[in-house]
Amino acid sequence: GAVVSQHPSWVICKSGTSVKIECRSLDFQATTMFWYRQFPKQSLMLMATSNEGSKATYEQGVEKDKFLINHASLTLSTLTVTSAHPEDSSFYICSAGEGAKNTEAFFGQGTRLTVV
């Protein structure tokens, strides 16, 4: 089946620094990718929709200047957490797929971000 790969799997950074997370579709082209955030014991919350070649669409309450999304190619989307703070510590997950409602979505393995 299709594979979506995230990198890194985990990262620890100092408060105030920026962290980039990559999401790659390994064997298919994804014009749309989604970024989620998950806090401990909670469900996944959609942050933004990443569109290849155009600006990302952010969900209400998500700061676009803090969570920079770049989708420069059909197989790569990146999420940069800028000026990270401890409250940004979370599990970040990307997904990709054909996007149609009658097809499955594929998820990356997630990135555990810890800001100290």
Partner 1 sequence: DAKTTQPNSMESNEEEPVHLPCNHSTISGTDYIHWYRQLPSQGPEYVIHGLTSNVNNRMASLAIAEDRKSSTLILHRATLRDAAVYYCILRDGGTASKLTFGTGTRLQVTL
Quote the CA–CA distance of 14 and 37 in Å, as a whole number: 19
Pick the closer one to partner 1 by CB: 94 or 113.
94
User: By CB under 8 A, is residue 69 in contact with partner 1?
Assistant: no
Q: Three-state DSSP class for 52?
A: coil
User: By CB under 8 A, is residue 76 in contact with partner 1?
Assistant: no
Binding letters toward partner 1, positions 83-102, x by CB under 8 A: --------x-xxx---xxxx
Q: How many residues are there in the chain? A: 116
User: By CB under 8 A, is residue 37 in contact with partner 1?
Assistant: no
Quote the CA–CA distance of 88 and 113 in Å, as a whole number: 8
User: By CB under 8 A, is residue 116 in contact with partner 1?
Assistant: no
Quote the CA–CA distance of 6 and 11 in Å, as a whole number: 12
Terminal CA-CA length for the chain? 37
For residue 12, the cross-strand partners are 114
User: By CB under 8 A, is residue 34 in contact with partner 1?
Assistant: yes
Quote the CA–CA distance of 25 and 2 in Å, as a whole number: 8
User: By CB under 8 A, is residue 77 in contact with partner 1?
Assistant: no
Q: Minimum Å distance from CB 15 to partner 1?
A: 24
Query: Footprint of partner 1 on this chain (CB under 8 A)?
Result: 4, 6, 31-32, 34, 36, 43-46, 49, 51, 91, 93-95, 99-102, 104-110, 112
